[in-house]
């Protein structure tokens, strides 16, 4: 397991520690509260498996995670060719920005599929 203190990635998701939640961040509702941080159409989600946290939404490429414990573990749920579990640290109140990678195609910008 890799421990992240400032910035790190798990496949197509980048985690960056920030000082404060932006004003436009809204508390997540519904299925997001259960710990699926990033959904994948193919079913290999990035899931918060341990620790206590609050999730906030920004837009389709950005969300936020506020720790309520010392750390949380992010697991990649694909049974093959999976990414290593990572631990986001910092303690209660630490804010992590969660960025989906994007790529430019002739049709325009799109999210990178992991």
Segment 51-86, tens digit of pLDDT = 788 889 887 788 899 999 999 988 877 666 667 788
pLDDT of residue 32: 47
Per DSSP, what are the bridge partners of residue 54? 66
Per DSSP, what are the bridge partners of residue 109? 104
Q: Which residues of 44-72 are buried (b: 16+ CB within 10 A; e: fewer)?
A: bbbbbeebebebbbbeeeebbbbbeeebb
Residue 100, pLDDT above cutoff 70: yes
Residue ranges covered by each domain of the chain: 2-20+34-111
Q: Is 91 exposed, middle or buried (0-12, 13-18, 19+ CB in 10 A)?
A: exposed
Question: Which pTM value belongs to this model?
Answer: 0.78
């Amino acid at each position: 397991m890799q421990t992240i203190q400032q910035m790190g990635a798990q496949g197509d998701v980048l985690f960056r520690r920030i000082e404060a939640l932006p004003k436009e961040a809204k508390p997540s509702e519904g299925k997001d509260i259960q710990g699926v941080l990033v959904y994948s159409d193919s079913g290999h989600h990035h899931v918060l498996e341990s620790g206590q946290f609050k999730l906030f939404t920004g837009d389709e490429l950005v969300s936020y995670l506020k720790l309520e414990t010392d750390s949380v573990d992010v697991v990649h749920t694909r049974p093959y060719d999976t990414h290593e579990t990572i631990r986001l640290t910092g303690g209660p109140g630490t804010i992590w920005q969660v960025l989906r990678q994007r790529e430019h195609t002739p049709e325009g910008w799109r999210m990178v599929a992991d």
